[in-house]
Amino acid sequence: MTSRIKGSLLFRLQHSWRRKRWGDPIVVVSGLPRSGTSMMMRMLEKGGLPLLKDDIRSADDNNPNGYYEYQPVKDLANSIDKSWVAKSRGRGVKVISELIKELPQAYFYQIIFMHRRLPEIVASQDKMLSGIGESPESDHARVLVLFEEHLRMTRNWLMHKSNFEVLEVSYSRVLRDPLEQSQAVASFLDRPLGIEAMASVVDPSLWRNREGI
């Protein structure tokens, strides 16, 4: 894995080597559920990046602009047929952090990893579960510990993967300064994306369950 140090000679050399070895990169938006992955997918779409999505899961009160999911992704851990991954080159696809290790290792991935304050994620997940008639986890302290450990292990795993480049993006920073963060994403992907179009779809009113300011 290489964290973004855009413009450095080392980064460019590593990026060029990866493209020669594994081909054009697959753009993966990842993170915990409710961390802003759907928002980032919409930004990429509006910026001009082709996406892999099927709209089987329709928009609702939790994600009024849609979930931007692709059904076969959910079967990554169990499905033998992962041929769809090869078709993702040059496109963006959403893969939650729990499934990122299941991606075939024969490809080059550029990961946009969304981060959000964990208490906000827990509150958002609780609200979503309650809305569909399911009982949220009552032991929030335990959930926070599990999430922290999961993120630590995922980061560690990514650090040892030479075919992954990673840009870590803060959910709150996108909402506070969408133009700056859109520019950072476009720079990381090294694609001619529409920066202003990306920023224009960020809706601060959807920052519900926020912690602090």
Cα–Cα distances (Å) from 74 to 38, 80, 105, 108, 127, in that order, read 15, 13, 17, 20, 22
Q: Is 170 inside a domain boundary?
A: yes
Question: pTM of the prediction?
Answer: 0.89
Q: Is 108 inside a domain boundary?
A: yes
Please name which of 114, 78, 115 lies closest in space to residue 99, comparing C-alpha atoms. 78
Q: Is 6 inside a domain boundary?
A: yes
Q: Is 134 inside a domain boundary?
A: yes
Q: Is 206 inside a domain boundary?
A: no
Query: Can you read off the two tokens belonging to residue 141?
Result: 């302290």
| Residues spanned by the domain of 94 | 2-200
Total domains present in the chain: 1
Q: Is 141 inside a domain boundary?
A: yes
- Residue 29: CB atoms within 10 A of its CB come to 28
CATH code of 32's domain: 3.40.50
Q: Is 212 inside a domain boundary?
A: no
pLDDT tens for the chain, 213 residues: list them: 444 445 578 888 899 999 999 999 999 999 999 999 999 999 999 999 999 999 888 888 888 888 999 999 999 999 889 999 998 999 999 999 999 999 999 999 999 999 999 999 999 888 877 666 676 676 889 999 999 999 999 999 999 999 999 999 999 999 999 999 999 999 999 999 999 999 999 988 877 666 543
